Structure 1
Amino acid sequence: MQLVVGRIGRPHGLRGDVSVEVRTDDPDRRFAPGAALATDPASAGPLVVASRRWHSGVLLVRFEGVTDRDRAEELRGTTLVIDSADIPPTGDPDEFYDHQLIGLAVTTPDGERVGEVSDVLHHGQDLLVVRRGRDDVLVPFVKALVPVVDLERGLLVVDAPPGLLDPDESV
């Protein structure tokens, strides 16, 4: 399974640097000099990181062989991916990678299915995006609200207070 770790944005400067929209919780490791990244479309890569730096909160990356703005512009919109098999286990039974959570069925403690995890957001606090039909609900990923994550069974349990899973529900 391929995991998205970033998306190449606009060029920065004249020497081939590009901005990268980071989609990984470990950008220093994923974008370390020498790291090879597969691409989507595959014809754009693999790309090898030559250097990286943060500038005003934006990750700027230079890839080997990309030495000017024109070549950098050709890469705009390219998705950077890695193979999930290349990610080592966390070693902590209560810690999960995003790709392990996405796609899990979400149930209540009583076993009622309420949706599926469609994304994980990292905004100071991890938030599960639970797809409920055509709507999404954000659930803080904390033990008090998500007491069970069962990867083998493909589900997680959300013990939500009234109104969290159904915003239209009266509190």
Structure 2
Amino acid sequence: MELVIGRVAKSHGIRGEIVVDVRTDSPELRFADGAVLTGRRPREKSTSTYTVAASRNHSGRLLVRLQGVADRTAADELRGVLFVIDSADVEPSDDPDEFYDHELEGLAVRMSDGAEIGVVAEVLHPPGGELLSVKTPEGREILIPFVKAIVPVVDVPGGYIEVDPPDGLLDPE
């Protein structure tokens, strides 16, 4: 299984730099000068290899220059590319309250009384904090904030998550 460690948001400047939305705890290692990245377009299987020529932080964002990407036009063509790694290359976390997205995706979501809600389809990372995108049996999507107060139990080996949502969170709009 592959894990996304970054996504090309846009080009930056005229010399081929790209802005990368980071999705790894170790951007200084994953995007270090000389690092070889595997990239693919969303919903595509074929991949390409890129070598980091340079990377730097700029106004809270990661700017990366890739070998062979010398101008804005070439950088613009990379918009949306996902940089991925194999999940087998990731060490498990020692923190019992820390999870990788791939560990949560596919887990059953239920209330503390056992009532089934759905399955975690995706973990979203908006600026305000992580959200679990849960697909219900009826095909609805419910976004559940991934915070201890609402998600008190995560049992990866057991294959489920228990939620204690505030009133209205699970109601259809």
TM-score under structure 2 normalisation?
Answer: 0.80
1:110 aligns with 2:121: no
Match of 1:84 in 2: 87
Separation (CA, whole Å) in 2 of partners of 1:72 and 1:43: 19
1:47 aligns with 2:50: yes
Deviation at 1:126, TM superposition (A): 2.9
Deviation at 1:83, TM superposition (A): 0.9
Separation (CA, whole Å) in 2 of partners of 1:37 and 1:166: 42
1:147 aligns with 2:147: no
1:1-171 alignment to 2 at 5 Å? 1-40=1-40, 45-122=48-125, 123-132=127-136, 133-167=138-172
Match of 2:28, SS? helix
Listed as ranges, the gaps of 5+ residues in structure 2 are none
Task: Provide the alpha-carbon RMSD of the alignment.
Answer: 2.5
Match of 1:125, SS? coil
Change (3 A) 1:137 1:44: closer
Which amino acid is the alignment partner of residue 23 of structure 1?
A: R
Deviation at 1:106, TM superposition (A): 0.4
Listed as ranges, the gaps of 5+ residues in structure 1 are none
Which amino acid is the alignment partner of residue 169 of structure 2?
A: L
Deviation at 1:43, TM superposition (A): 6.1
Match of 2:76, SS? helix
Change (3 A) 1:40 1:158: same
> Percent of aligned positions with the same letter in both sequences?
55
TM-score under structure 1 normalisation?
Answer: 0.81
Change (3 A) 1:137 1:60: same
CA contact (8 A) 1:19 1:60 kept: yes
Deviation at 1:61, TM superposition (A): 0.7
CA contact (8 A) 1:44 1:75 kept: no
Deviation at 1:26, TM superposition (A): 4.1
- Superposition misfits of 4+ residues, deviation over 4 angstroms: 41-44
